[in-house]
Every structure is written in C-alpha cells, then in structure tokens.
Chain A
Amino acid sequence: MSLPQEPASFLPLSQAEFQILLSVNEQARHGYAIMQEVDERCGAAAVLGPGTLYGAIKRLRRAGLIEEVDGGSARQRPYAITPLGRRVAVAEAERHKELVRWAEATGL
C-alpha cells in the first residue's frame, strides 16, 4: 500500500467513497458533518448510514486518499482530501463523465 499509486487503480469507487471524497474536497469535515452534508446535498437517494460511512472513511484513510487534520475534538477529528485523493476523485468523475457520454451516444 505504500507504493506510489495510480489513481486508476482505485477505480471504481463505491458511491459512499466518492461522496465522501466530494464532501471533504470542499472543506475538511468530520464524519457526522460528512453524513449531514451528503444527506442535505442528495436527499434520501444517497443516505450514508454510520456503518457505511465509517467503513468507507477507514478504507479511504488507509489508502491515503483522505487524512486527519487538526481541529475539532480528539473524537471528531476532521478529514481533508490528500493530493492523491483529489486525483482519484478527478479520475472517478472522469469515469462518470465517460459513462454519461456513452449513455448519450447510445441514444439515452
């Protein structure tokens, strides 16, 4: 896991992982704040439950896509996106765009 990573090797991200990256890309947020933000942004369609949320945070952190930063309490430390995380998010967004283009090309 410590080798330099190609963003593409992380793809595709799960929906929860992508949502979290988008959320912390905007600003550093702690877990519950991410949950709230995603809920408000997407409504019922993309609700993150606690299990899914923290499971995904765990994996994203382990993979070095997000990192804990200073601020907040010891328990609610905010997470920020890492440069690698940003690249992965861009690649995932690109993948989605590709999909949309393909969908349009097939007449959707």
Chain B
Amino acid sequence: MRLLVRLGAAVYAAALRLYPAAFRREWGGRMLEAFVRTSVRERRRRGAHGLLRWWARTAVDLVRSLVVEWRDAWSDSDVSVNREEGTMGTTTKGDRGWGFEGMAVEARLALRRYARRPAWTAAALTTLVVGVGATTGVVSLAHESLVRPLPFEAPERLVAVTATPVDGGEVHRLSLNLLERWEDERPGGIAVAGWAQTSAPIDLGLGPEYIAAGYASGRLMELLDVRPVAGRVFTEADGREGAPPAVLLTEPLWRSHFGGDPDVVGRSLSMGSREYTVLGIVGDELAAILPDARLWMAASTFPRSPYITVYYAVGRLPEGMSVEAANERLAAARVTDAAERAFSGVAEPIRDVLVRDSRPVLLTFLALVAGLLLIGAVNLANLLLGRAMASEGDRTVRVALGASRARLVRGALIDGVLLGAAGGAGGLLAGIWMRRLVLASAPEPIPGVGAGGWGVEAGVAFGLSVALCAALAVWTSSRVTPRGGAGSGAPGRSVSASAGRPLRRAQRALTVAQVGASFVLLVGSALLVATFVRLSSVESGFDIRPVGGLTLSIPSGRYPDAESHEAFARRLVEELGSLPGVERVAAVDRAPLNGLGRSPIHLEGADSAESVGMSVVIDAQPGFFEVMGIPLLRGRGLEAAGPPGSPPVAVVSETFARRVFPGIDPIGRRFRPGGGEWRTIVGVVGDVRAAGPTQELEPVFFQSLEQTAEWSNFVTVVFRTPGGAATQLPAVRERLRALEPSAAVLDLASYEQWLRASPGFAEARFRALIVGLLGAVALVLAVVGVYGVTAYAVRLRTRELGIRIALGSGGRRTVSVVLAEGVSLALAGLALGAAAAWVAVERLSGFLAGAPARDPAVFAAVAIGLVAVVVAASLRPALAAAKVAPAEVLREG
C-alpha cells in the first residue's frame, strides 16, 4: 500500500508541472508534502478507500486551482496573452521547448480544447471510465481469487487431499475418523488436517439462530499457520475426542456481536445443548477455505463414525516436494478407517479445488470485459481520429507558422496524458463501484476475496488508461500529416474530401470492428438475461407472496420423546394460528422448494419389485394445501387420512399421476414407496416445483403427518398471511421465543425472500445483472462510435452532397445515401460479430439452464436490434445532410 502512496505522489508531482512556473517554484514543494501527508493519514484512517477518495478530491482541487492560478498569473503579468486558443498563443508564449512552461502551455491548450467540446470530451471520458472501470473491477476480483497467493504461510506447499477407497468405491469427502488416522500416520511424510462446513445455533440477541460455521480438526490451525488475533488457536489436543468443547470466533463476528471485547476469550458460549469455551479470535484468513464461516468449532464434539464423510482435507508438503511426487507417495499409502476400509490419497494444488466453482464465471467475465475494453479502445481511437481530422486545418496553420513536428507530437502527448489521467481516476472509482456491485450481488462469497487491497490493480488501471490515451493521441496525430501548406484549407474549415480519405478508411474499419465486438457481447448478455427471465417466470406451483415458513430445531435432550416433540409442534401451530393476520398454519416435515426426500415408487402387480421411478415425499398436516394455495384437482385432501395405524393414504401431484398412471384415474390405486407399506391414493393436487424454481417438475406424493406421526426435534411450519408474509416474520419470531426460548431458528423467511435467495435463482440473477450491464455499456459505446463516424462522414462530404442536391438529388435520396453508409458499416460488423459469437457462445452453455447457446432467435433479435440502433444513430447526421444548402457549400469551395 505504501507503493500506492508513492505512486500517487509521483502522479501529483507530475501534475504540479501544470501550474504556472512561479507558483510552482514557491509552493509546489509544500503542496506535494501536504498531499503526501494527507495521503498517509487517509490511508491509515480509512484504508485504500480513503486514499482513493482523497485522490479524487485532489483531482478536483487540481482542476479548480489550475484555473485560478493561471488566471492569477496572467492578470499579474504585463505580457498580454491571447486568450483564444490558437496559433498565436502557441508561438509567442508557448515556444519554450520541452521545459515545464512549454508543457504547461500545451496542457492549458489541451484543457481548453476539451472544455470547448464538452460532448466530445464527455464521450471520450465515458468510454475511458467505463472501460477502465469494468476492467479494473473484474481484474481485481479475478486476480484476488485466481492468482493472489492464499493468506497462509508458504501457500504453494498446500494441497487439497481426497481419499480414494482402495477397493475402488466412490470418492467421498473424509470421515473425521479417517482424517484423524491420516493426521496421525502422515503417509508419505505429508502433514494433513481438515475442516467441515456446518452451522451453529448461537444467540446473537434475537434468540438462538443458526449461523455458518466450520469444524476444524485439531491440527488445522497449526498446519495453515493461523495466528490468533486474541487468545489462542486450536491445538491438536483441542480436536481430540472427549476434549472440552471449544470455539474460535472470527474477527468480524467478534467485532459485530461482542463489541471487540478481548475479555470474551475464556468465556463460555452456549450453543444447542452444549457449553463451549471461547479459546480465541482468528482473523479472516480462514475465509480463503470457507468463505462464510463466522465461527470455528473444534472437532472434539464431532462424531467419529466412519460413515459421516463431510471433511475436506488439506496437506502441507515437505519443503521441495512437488505435487507429482506427493501424489506418487499418496497413491502408495494405505490408511484404514474404523470400518476396516483402506484408502489412498490424491493431492491437488489447493487453489484449483477452492475456485473450481467460481473460476469459469470469473473467466467468462474476464473475456467479456476484454471485449468491452477492446470496444472502448476502438471508440477512443475513433473519437481521436475524428478530432484530428477536424483540426487538420489548425495543424496546417501551426506548421506553416513554424511549429516543428516534435511540437505537434508533444501537444498530442500531453493531450492524451491529461485525458488518460482523468479517465484513469474516474475508472478507478468506477472499478471500486463495480467490484462492490459484483460482491454485493454474488450469490455466495467468492473464495479468496475479502475486503481486499487494491495495490497493483490501481496502478495498472491508471497506467493503462494514461498509456492507452497517450499512444492513441500520438498515433492519430501522426496520421494527420499537414500537407500542401496553408493554401489547402482555411483554418477552421473542413478540409477537402480527399485529404481525409485514408483516415476515414481507418475510422470505418474501426467502426466495423466495434460493431462486431458489440454483437458478441450483446448476444452473450441476451442469452444470460433471457435465462434469468425464464427462471424468474417459472411457476413454483403456488402463490408464494402470502406464504412464509419457519424451520427450527430444539436442542436434543430438551424433550424426552417423539410425543413431546409432537405436542410442541401442535402448540406452535396453534400459537402462530392465533396471530392477527395469519389465516392458516400447518406443520410439514420439510419445506417445499427446499430440503428433499425422494423414494422409489413400486406398483401392485407382477413386477412390483421393480421401481417405476422416483418421487419426492412430503409429510404434512392437513391444511398444508390451503396454506400453500396448492389446488386440489380431484378426490380428497390429506384430511382423508386416519390416525396412526389406520390404512395409509396419499395425495399425489399431477405429474405423479401422469407419469405413474398414464391415462388412468389414479384415485383408489395403490403404490408403495421403497420399503414402505401400500398406500391408497385419495386425491390429486396441482404440481409443486419441490426442488426449487430452477429445477424440472418431478412427481411428488404427500402423506398426512397425523397418520405417519414422524415428529422430531426439527420442526417446519408454513403459514398463510394474506397481507404478505414478510411483515409477519418478527411476530412469528416473538411467539416462538415466548413458547420455547431454546428453539434455534434455522430459517425464517417469506417464500418470496426465500425464492430470491435460492441458489439457481440468485446465480442467474447475478450473471444476468453483470453481463447485462456490460452488454448495455457495449451497446452505448457502439452507438457513440457509429454516430461519430457517420456525423463526421457527413461533414466531410458536405460539398459532395451540396453538389448532388444542386444537381437535383432530392432530400430523401440524400438521406438514403448517408444512411447506406451507416448500414453498410453495421452489416459488415454484424457478419464479423456473428461469426465470432457463434464460436464464443459455446463457453456460456453451462450457464443457460439447459437452453441452447447457439440460439438463432437470439442471434437474429440482436442483429435486428443492432441494425436498428445503427440506423437511428446515423439518422440525425443524414437528416442534417438533406438540409445542406447547395449555394452556401459551393460558395465556400
């Protein structure tokens, strides 16, 4: 970060040269010192964010005080200064070579040029800010997640270890039992430790609630070399079976809910039916392996069964050992668990495993952003070319008055650096915003991305912007060669058509490239947005707005048996039912759209041993259909079921009926779930997308909780509140606390909230949002580009068009001539873009929820839309062309 301060100082020191020399000599040193000291202070107080804010303020201050000081300098001086931009000002006052003063004059001229063409300047700055911003934001995320070393000691020696059963069975995660044996035996000399994802019921002020947490084996902290912020971390002994229950709080949780109080260490924390001792506070390093965990529990309380396989293992290679060598040793290793099953190991670089899910998304964003940057650069080149052509006359005059070629280049260079610096600064801020937007809308934390420093990226963005602009400005200026002395064009007038021709060719080629690149981006974003729209319009099978759900668990041991759990659930249903505004409540064994249990279905008959397919099973109280608003299509609902022990009945979904009993009335038929009794179908209800909004419809059958009596310490109730479920949630929570303070809330949400947060939905929304944004920006840039080129072409052809009109060509015909120019560019770009997109979209196919990537309809729609936009962009210049007055044009010639 010190690097950033130094970088800022260097930029500011360079910017000081823009002030009048006398002012700079007297005050420059002090200004630089004040700038640096404030940078250091802001950095210390508010971090990188404060630093950037200070830079932005200084940039504003710079522009403002530059104006004041130059005005001051001129009014002080006896030399009268030509205030109009032009050749006289340059040759008299500005001819001081590459010295500071000459540069300052050049800069002043450049600033004036920008001020005189606000629309042009806005277009150029927008292009820069958007291009640099999007690139910086996404590159910084990608860098942090994919490239930056993990925040652990010697991260290159860390590997993810998976256990492969020697008998060839399926590869699972590890059981704690196996992990501990592995840790003790260290096969191949590789130290191993592990962690598992969990959630912990902790009371943070609103009653017990589950928060994301991790289980750490005893050696994990030592292996990763995690240092405590306060207290101590787990040691091997803390993880052993029978050791006293212990937790570590993460720093964010400690700060947000324990006020950062160091005395928390050593205190006891009650979670579920156990008391845990807080051993210490850990920083956010562990977020690199488990992004959302807010506290870590020692594995001492975790069951040692060889069949609970939820642990991830991490290994540390001895110094100098390669991953290949480690794999050779691990493949030969044999570690046996309590079930007498032998395992060998496979090691992979740990980052590969951690970013497996987010890598393709980030890489796709990166590719899109590269496309956007390309469009931006093309746009900028185009804008600069246009301006260079327009000022060709001015340059010719400057050359005629003795300006050297070097001076023209110097002017262009300063011009470009100024533009690049302004765009780079804006781009940085846009990048921060973009990054925040990405992180805020990401469905889950991106591994390895924390609050994050900016360091390198900031410098890169700024340097990129400055270098790009300077290079383009010099290039375009060198493309415009003053020719034929001052005679070929009066200053300020457009040059003859022939002079601009090679430039126009370059400009048109750039526009074609731009339209092509936009097409690719737009097809990509159209596909992703269409996917999102499709997902959000999917019917869940019921009207979700008035429906809410509560899932909770009672600490084991609080109630002795199933009967008392049942009694509690009934009391809860009754209590919630008495809340004003709540119409109906029903208990259910698991929330639809959420958890799932599936069972094979068997039918009566000869082949009853053979399953006819799988079905979701939901146990619910009668009244469940009314709460959820699921329509009863035929027969009776769950109230048809008798008490426990009576003949079992079931209600099936429409899809169940259609698939299992095609063409037959299912009512009265019998079926049997795998291993269960025969059930008689009493009714058919509408379909419910039980597995979530993005999933396929599948068969569901319902049975009555009153009949199955499957009550446990996990309780889910759903409630219907016609006024909207979200507003009832606090009241529901209050009732629950009054009824059973020890109950830990797993989930309390309206279905609407829940649907928005569901994984498929949130991810699709995230991708659609980001890519849609990039697509929109690409479209805007393309429109600016096409408009600029067409408008300029009209200006160049004014004379030709005037002659055409004088010779009797009508207004409509003139319009079509100009339009043809824009459309021909668009069509060339489309052809190019379509070919590129056809190849490129294949990469997106994983994100489209099953829809084909090469969707001709999407391609056609984007093509038509793009052509329409291009025509619209060239319409204004075309209409202007039709109004050219021939007499005036010919007189000017």
Contact = CB atoms under 8 A, between A and B. Distances in A.
B433 interface: no
Contact of B62 (A31, A36, A47, A51): A51
Contacts of B65: 49, 51-52, 55
A55 B58 contact: no
A51 B29 CA distance: 11
Interface in A53-72: 53-55, 57-59
Interface residues of B, number: 25
Contact of A55 (B33, B37, B41, B72): B72
A52 B30 contact: no
Contacts of B35: 50
Interface in B196-240: none
B34 A53 contact: yes
B30 A54 contact: yes
B60 A59 contact: no
A30 B375 CA distance: 49
A36 B32 CA distance: 15
A27 interface: no
A57 B58 CA distance: 17
Given A32-B37, A35-B38, A51 B66 contact: yes
A5 interface: no
B57 A47 contact: yes
B26 A51 contact: no
A76 B37 CA distance: 13
A52 B34 contact: no
Contact of B57 (A31, A32, A49, A76): A49
A58 B23 contact: yes
A58 B65 CA distance: 12
Interface residues on A, range: 10 to 19
A93 B604 CA distance: 97
Nearest to B19: A51
A51 B20 CA distance: 12
Interface string A72-97: 00011000000000000000000000
Given A35-B38, A58-B27, A59-B72, A52 B64 contact: yes
Contacts of B30: 31-32, 50, 54, 75-76
A55 B60 contact: no
B58 A50 contact: yes
Nearest to A31: B30
B648 to A, nearest CB: 70
B243 interface: no
Contacts of B38: 32, 35-36, 50
B61 interface: yes
B34 A50 contact: yes
A76 B31 CA distance: 11
A32 B34 contact: yes
A99 B37 CA distance: 36
B31 A54 contact: yes
Nearest to A49: B61
Nearest to B69: A55
Nearest to A39: B38
B33 A32 contact: yes
Nearest to B35: A50
Is chain A's interface secondary structure helix, strand, loop, or mixed overall? helix
Interface string A10-52: 0000000000000000000001100110000000000111111
A18 to B, nearest CB: 16
Given A58-B23, A59-B72, A51 B33 contact: no
A75 B30 CA distance: 7
A55 B26 contact: no
A12 to B, nearest CB: 15
B861 interface: no
> Which residue, of A48, A49, A57, has the highest number of chain B Cβ atoms within 10 A?
A49
> Which residue, of B29, B32, B35, B65, has the highest number of chain A Cβ atoms within 10 A?
B65
Interface string B622-643: 0000000000000000000000
A35 B37 CA distance: 11
A35 B27 CA distance: 15
Interface in B49-90: 57-58, 60-62, 64-66, 68-69, 72
Contacts of A49: 57-58, 60-62, 64-65
Contact of B61 (A31, A51, A58, A59): A51
Nearest to B65: A51
Contacts of A48: 61
A17 B574 CA distance: 71
A55 B27 CA distance: 8
Given A35-B38, A58-B26, A59-B72, A52 B61 contact: yes
Contacts of B19: 51
Interface string B364-387: 000000000000000000000000
A2 to B, nearest CB: 16
B34 A35 contact: yes
A51 B37 contact: no
B29 A75 contact: yes
> Which residue, of A32, A36, A49, A50, has the highest number of chain B Cβ atoms within 10 A?
A50
Contacts of A35: 34, 38
Interface in B239-291: none
Nearest to B58: A49
A51 B64 contact: yes
B34 A31 contact: yes
Nearest to A34: B34
A48 to B, nearest CB: 8
B57 A51 contact: no
A76 B32 CA distance: 12
B320 to A, nearest CB: 52
B76 to A, nearest CB: 10
Contacts of B31: 50-51, 53-54
> Which residue, of B34, B35, B38, B68, has the highest number of chain A Cβ atoms within 10 A?
B34
A51 B66 CA distance: 8
A86 B394 CA distance: 52
25 contacts: A31-B30, A32-B37, A47-B57, A47-B61, A48-B61, A49-B57, A49-B58, A49-B60, A49-B62, A49-B64, A49-B65, A50-B38, A51-B31, A51-B58, A51-B64, A51-B66, A52-B68, A54-B34, A55-B27, A55-B68, A58-B27, A75-B29, A75-B30, A75-B33, A76-B30
Interface of B: 19, 23, 26-27, 29-35, 37-38, 41, 57-58, 60-62, 64-66, 68-69, 72
Q: Which 7 A-B pairs have the closest CB atoms?
A: A49-B61, A51-B65, A50-B31, A54-B27, A32-B34, A50-B34, A51-B61
Given A54-B34, A55-B72, 10 more contacts: A31-B34, A32-B38, A35-B38, A50-B32, A51-B64, A51-B69, A52-B64, A55-B65, A57-B27, A59-B72
